[in-house]
Amino acid sequence: MTFFRLLFLLFLAGSLIACTDDNHNAQSNSSVTPTSVYTPKYGKNHINKPAPDFNLTSLKEGKVSLSQFKGKVVLINFWATWCPPCRAEIPDFIDVYNDLSTKDFSILGIAMDQKDLIDEFVDEFDVSYPIAYGKSDVSKIAADYGDTMGALPYNVLLNKDHKIIYAEPGTLPKKRLLAIVKPLLK
């Protein structure tokens, strides 16, 4: 077995473990609120800390930075087109964004992929929220938000003051996302 094949298998195993964590999924009921039940396991060192700003290339707007979302609750979704769990959660994110974007909520997808593959994916899934992309710069930003393993998907939720209130690898089910976001929009 070649070194690269072994490295890929280890990465894949780590991603699958992150995406299927039983305790994480056990907390996916609708009664979860950001201040009551959510106990982070992975990004806990970042919870309640200010989110670091960044500048990335956007698919449609040129450049995008976190400061452009001032005063909004923001879900930052680190993903890639080749990641099956990422592909599975994005249709739910589109639904939530379309329902809540007029209520001071936004999603920023940050893809670790090539522009042409992202363009195809965005067209195929009719992604309505902003998408940024990159390679090593995205990995650094993800690590700044607590994703030190490089797991995908990795979701970070910021309140209106842009403090991190959720940072976890693995899919973020629609029901859980809504349970955490809706109280922040009041």
CA–CA dist 145, 157 (Å, integer): 10
| pTM higher than the cut 0.85 | no
- Given this model, what pLDDT does residue 61 score? 74
Express each pLDDT in 48-87 by its tens digit.
Answer: 899 999 999 999 878 999 999 999 999 999 999 999 999 9
In whole angstroms, how far apart are CA 120 and each of 72, 101, 113, 133, 150? 28, 23, 12, 13, 23
Contact 140, 147 (CB under 8 A): no
The CATH number given to 3-184 is 3.40.30.10
Contact 153, 71 (CB under 8 A): no
Burial class (CB in 10 A: 0-12, 13-18, 19+), 142: buried
- Given this model, what pLDDT does residue 170 score? 94
Domain boundaries, given as residue ranges, for the chain: 3-184
Express each pLDDT in 81-116 by its tens digit.
Answer: 999 999 999 999 999 999 998 899 999 999 999 999
Express each pLDDT in 18-33 by its tens digit.
Answer: 443 433 433 433 334 4
Phi, psi of 170 (to 5 degrees): 95, 170
Express each pLDDT in 135-155 by its tens digit.
Answer: 888 999 999 999 988 899 999
Is residue 42 very low, low, confident or very high in pLDDT (cuts 50, 70, 90)?
Answer: low
